[in-house]
Amino acid sequence: MNFSIFPSPIYAGKQIKCHYENPVTLSTLSEQLCRYLTELDPYGQKEIAVICIGTDRSTGDCLGPLVGWYLKKYPINFSIYGTLDEPVHATNMSEKLAAIQQNHHTPLIIAVDACLGKLESVGMINLGLGEIKPGAGVHKNLPPVGNIYFTGIVNVAGYMEFIVLQNTRLSIVMQMALLIANSIVMGVKKAQRKRDDLKKRDTFLKNSLC
């Protein structure tokens, strides 16, 4: 699903891009996600909700549901919205966003979606701070979503986007989805360890002053 990216003015420029075949992409994305999570929620008081946008009816647009499907296989401590069995798409997007706000106290939302781009950018994974607006590139008026976003450029933009998405290679989409899912799991774990270390340091300093 093609879209426009709307980073918050505060976070302008805070986006990284990595190709899924680069051997350091997993460590790079997970480290950056850790930084974003601890910056937005230093003490781990917010509930993480990952919303994986797309549909299993289109090869290119199933990146999000595949990420959700992979995440369901891990023992995780955050919520997932959008899988192959229960995708989040244009029809139910507003309903799912309302459910996230209702089910979670001050949620920190990680949005995942596919997009189209330049030929030389196919295979790139973007990770950034701010919202994405799903559907903008295919003329759908959907609400913006996310405090953090992962987007994967699955094919070339510019002409007959729906057909391009239908004719995207599943192999590439699956590899990108697995990489994003692993990055999320590792990034969340790294953020928790970082917060635990911070709490230990604060406790040590407090006891030292007593």
**pLDDT tens track for 17-68:** 999 999 999 999 999 999 999 999 998 999 999 999 999 998 989 999 999 9
Do 186 and 73 contact (CB within 8 A), yes or no?
no
Q: Among candidates 76, 198, 64, 196, which has minimal Cα distance to 134?
A: 64
The DSSP secondary structure of 155-198, one letter per residue, reads EE-SS-HHHHHHTS-HHHHHHHHHHHHHHHHHHHHHHHHHHHHH
Report the C-alpha gap between 198 and 169 in whole angstroms. Answer: 44
Provide the percentage of residues in the chain whose pLDDT is more than 70.
88
Radius of gyration of the chain (CA): 17
In tens, the pLDDT along 106-142 reads: 899 999 999 988 989 999 999 999 999 886 656 677 8
- 23 or 6, higher pLDDT: 23
Name the class of domain 3-197.
alpha beta
Amino acid 210: pLDDT: 62
